[in-house]
Every structure is written in structure tokens, then in C-alpha cells.
Amino acid sequence: MKSQTPASQGFAMPAEWEPHAATWMSWPHAGCRSFPGSYERVIPTFVKMAEALAASEIVRINVLDAAEEKTVRALLSKAPPERIECFHIATNEPWCRDHGAIFLKRKTAPQLAALNFGFNAWGYKLSPFEDDNEVPSKMGDALGIPVFDRTDFILEGGSIDVNGAGVVLTTESCLLNPNRNPKLNRREIEAKLRESLGVQTVLWLGDGIEGDDTDGHVDDITRFVSETTVLTVVEEDENDPNFEPLRANLDRLHQTQLPGGEPLHVLNLPMPSRVVRDGIRLPASYANFYIANECVLLPVFGERNDAWAASILAEVFPSRNIVSIDCRELIWGLGAFHCLTQQQPAAGV
């Protein structure tokens, strides 16, 4: 469906907290480059994540082949087997949010569709990425739903966050970076987002956090938690490099009005203390949580702010179980739960 835009056909991207049919993941391979020297140590975190999700909904996992499917099913033996579905869709890296299909929904049949954006490994930071670039169309084909070909536009799922009511959040540091769409200006990028995601309003933040090799994905800094409310991370240490950019983003959010003229409701979320490995600052952030049907997966880092972040999410999502999982190994891959997942909306809801 290359000639038609999703918005012109009535499709739009639902909010993450709306009902899911499933959550998608891409299982990491021993040869992937995301976890150098620590692949075996990171697998237990993937297992905990998948098991927690399987208690909430179906988990659909991209695996290389039948052999890897057998390995994954053995690792997930504690999860209800009917909740684990494997698809033989090859990937290079496990970051399904960024390389996977973005699912859209409309009220008329067919109700679901998949977006196939172009993927260039976060501005050519990892290679190879050819398998990752083919994942969205294969996911859509596996489900038998229409696939919109938007491969003329480079976009990762972690660079956007929607409220399900016509508004998308993103960052200038990522979407205006010349390593993504160098021939497009801000106005043209906004038009691409509107026609692809079915939104009317694009809200821009500035820079992301230190150590984020995605050039500032919004899912590490600010997240919609309702149509009118965002959680945004704030750094309290004035000497931390994250202090100024996060404060500038906070100021922008407080000055933001929603399309109807209502001010955006802004709630603060703490930042964890610095996580450093091999002299590298890693992009640890509580904002990289994932909202499933019955739970919220929260990355934690073995420190005092973990409980504070969990308590804030519990207030925001009182009907969901807050599942805190230690991500001190996972963050070596420069991402956490939101980066690794992609929600498939429930049809007919």
C-alpha cells in the first residue's frame, strides 16, 4: 500500500495503554552486537521480561529458525505455552520497538494495519541491519494484515510516543538529525508523521540523555500516560550532564498546550544515578517502561530511586501491576523494556 497514506484510510496509532492483542519481541542472538561480552548474562533478563508479559497477554517472538524457537521455548518453560508464539523472522538485533512494525488501527475493516518505515540502524551505528529493515513487512504478512510501505522515511518506534488522541511527542535531536532524513526539513517531517500515524499535532522536545546512541529517543525521557498527561524524567544533580537538557525539556512541556487549548499535565519521574561500564555512561532511565494489559515493566538499577519510580508508576497505573526488573546487565545494550517491545492493538475494542 505505497500510494495511500494510513491517515487517508482512517488509520491511526493507538496509545500504548489501550488494549493489546499481543506484545512483540525479537529474541537476541549470540552473534548480535548489542551485548558485547555479556550475551549469556543478559538472557535471564529477557526471560523475566517475557514471563511477566505472558502473565498479561500473548507474547509474539521473532526468532531465527526452528532451532532458536526450541531454545526460546525451553527458556520460557514457566510461561503459559499458549501465551508464547514464535515467528521465524530473522533479525540482526533485538530492539523490536525500532525495527519492528508499528501497528495502526481504525474502526472499519480491516481494523489493523502495519507500518513499514525505513530503518538504518540509528544513523548507521551498527552493521549489518538488512534483516532488521525487513521485519515490519514480515510481521504484517504473518498476521495477514495490510502493510503500508513508508520506507522512504527513516523512523524508529522509540523516537515517537502518541497519546492516542492525535498528538505525537518526538525530539529534535533524533528526527532532525541529518543521519536519518537529510533531505527533509521539520515541516516535511511533521507531514510524514501526520499522514503515517494519523496524528494532527507534533510536539517537539530538544535533546535526549547522555549515553543514548539513538540521538535522543523520546522513550528515554518523556512518555504519555494518558491523553493529557506525560511522565518526564528530571535530573536533580546540577553537575550531571543530563541536568540542563532535561530541565529545558521540562520547561517546554510546561509551556505546551494540547490541541483544545488545555495545558499538558506534567508529572516528574526521577533519573537513576549514573550507570557506567568500561568508562561509558549508559542511558539508564526509568522512562523506558512498557505498558502491557495488566502490568507495567519498569527497568530498575539496584539503587534508592528504584522504589520512588515504582511508586509514581503505581499511582499513574493503579489497575496494573508494576513489575520492577533489574536492568544493570540489559542497559549495557543501551536500551531497556520499551526499546525491546512493540504493542499489537486489540481489534474490535
pLDDT of residue 47: 98
Quote the pTM value: 0.97
- Residue 2 placed within a domain: no
pLDDT of residue 129: 97
- Burial of 27 per CB tally in 10 Å (0-12, 13-18, 19+): buried
Three cell numbers, residue 234: 528530571
Determine the Cα–Cα distance for residues 285 and 206; give it in Å rounded to an integer. Answer: 17
Would residue 32 show up in a list of annotated catalytic residues for this protein? Answer: no
SS (HEC) of the chain: CCCCCCHHHCCECCCCCCCEEEEEEECCCCCCCCCCCCHHHHHHHHHHHHHHHHCCCEEEEEECCHHHHHHHHHHCCCCCHHHEEEEECCCCCCCHHHHCCEEEECCCCCCEEEEEEECCHHHHCCCCCHHHHCHHHHHHHHHCCCEEEEEEEECCHHHCEECCCCEEEEEHHHHCCCCCCCCCCHHHHHHHHHHHHCCCEEEEECCCCCCCCCCCCHHHCEEEEECCEEEEEECCCCCCCCHHHHHHHHHHHHCCECCCCCECEEEEEECCCCCEECCEECCCCCCCCEECCCEEEEEECCCCHHHHHHHHHHHHCCCCEEEEEECCCHHHHCCCHHHHCEEEECCCC
Range of the domain at 30: 7-345
Series of mean pLDDT values for 10-residue runs along the chain (349 residues): 84 98 97 93 98 98 98 98 98 98 94 98 96 98 97 98 98 98 98 98 98 98 98 98 98 96 97 96 98 98 97 98 98 97 89
pLDDT of residue 31: 87
pLDDT of residue 136: 98
117 beta partners: 150
- Residue 163 placed within a domain: yes
pLDDT of residue 296: 98
pLDDT of residue 4: 86
Residue type, 185: N
pLDDT of residue 112: 97
- Residue 1 placed within a domain: no
- Residue 74 placed within a domain: yes
Q: Domain of 78: which CATH number?
A: 3.75.10.10
The structural domain count of the chain equals 1
- Residue 222 placed within a domain: yes
Strands 161-162 and 84-88: unpaired
Determine the Cα–Cα distance for residues 130 and 108; give it in Å rounded to an integer. Answer: 34
- Residue 88 placed within a domain: yes
- Residue 183 placed within a domain: yes
86, 174, 327, 339: which one is catalytic? 339
